Structure 1
């Protein structure tokens, strides 16, 4: 396996993130040697949820959205939950971050409800994606080709449906980072 210690991943989240969709990919990336940075609206601890209805763990972001320089990162990971992407897609800087990663052809990975950010940033037209069922019409209306699969990789864009798919989602992200790392060597 390639050395991923120089790879840097940015995660965006705020209150209402699905606990497993932030903590599990984050841990898989850390275990692979990747440097992970969490950005949010503020640097106060953010509240996770479990199945969108009970409080989960909290985590303290490393920096605010306004402090993010996308040139410092190789990939962007967007956890779901209903409240998290719904709040995040109202943040102009969050949408700019998604657009910058896509414009630079960097890895963008979104799970569950997180593709709402992709819709709002207008980056899914003509792309094959998947998501939580209630987000699929929004994706189709934005021009995406929506399929019902554990994980969909369309060039630099990785999407996944739900917490049960996290192992496949993590594997796809790490494989994509491995490809980038091997081309940088």
Structure 2
């Protein structure tokens, strides 16, 4: 009986591991450190598997405010992006420029959107989604200076907008809101509320 119980526990753990959500976060030089790391931190608190992927041929990223960040992997080391459940694009002026200049980033984002998989972007990064035609008719938000590049989108000033499989947010000041929203999407309302209480954040 004890052996059977151990096997049952093992099978349960394997199944739990298989169903864990996986998120790819693209890191580029010049990104907004708070936006990127706040979302990564909150997702990991919720036990979401997050991979910080450098779009450069190096793993050390230099943020917009001189903070060095060690990515988990380089873009060229990821064999199959479709193993991820969501892709997230942090913002920052230069960071967004670098993401937008990467053909591979745009390819991955477009493929995710085409397949109905989850795509998220914050600050200036939603303009990349606009440029790819992914915001047509969708409620969306971004950093104020790039709202004119949310082509076809129904732009709001809300902290976070989720419309279908696309989630957007405004900037550094809404990074916690964005992280909690992504937890809600991937793990459910209950888990998002648990994390909100854990970090002593205002009610969503």
Class of the TM-score when normalised by the shorter of the 2 chains: 0.7 to 0.9
How many residues are aligned here? 172
CA radius of gyration, larger in = 2
Match of 1:18 among 32, 35, 47: 32
Query: Unaligned regions of 5+ residues in structure 2, if any?
Result: 1-15, 189-204
1:157 Cα deviation after fit? 0.9
The whole-number CA distance in structure 1 between the counterparts of 2:119 and 2:76 is 16
* 1:126-165 to 2 correspondences below 5 Å: 126-139=137-150, 142-165=151-174
Larger RCO: Structure 1 or Structure 2 (Cα < 8 Å, ≥ 6 residues apart)?
Answer: 1
User: Which residue does the alignment assign to 1:111?
Assistant: 122
User: Which residue does the alignment assign to 1:9?
Assistant: 23
* 1:25-36 to 2 correspondences below 5 Å: 25-36=39-50
Residue pair 2:23, 2:84 contacting (<8 A) in 1 also = yes
Q: TM-score, normalised by structure 1?
A: 0.85
RMSD, aligned α-carbons = 2.0
The whole-number CA distance in structure 2 between the counterparts of 1:165 and 1:117 is 19
More strand by share: 1
1:120 Cα deviation after fit? 2.7
Match of 1:38 among 10, 28, 52: 52
Q: CA, structure 1 residues 162+100, in 2 after alignment: closer, same or farther (shift >3 Å)?
A: same
The whole-number CA distance in structure 1 between the counterparts of 2:81 and 2:116 is 12
More helix by share: 2
1:49 Cα deviation after fit? 2.1
Matched, 1:174 2:183: yes
Q: CA, structure 1 residues 82+4, in 2 after alignment: closer, same or farther (shift >3 Å)?
A: farther
Q: TM-score, normalised by structure 2?
A: 0.78
Structure 1 runs of 4+ aligned residues shifted over 3 Å read 2-5, 65-68
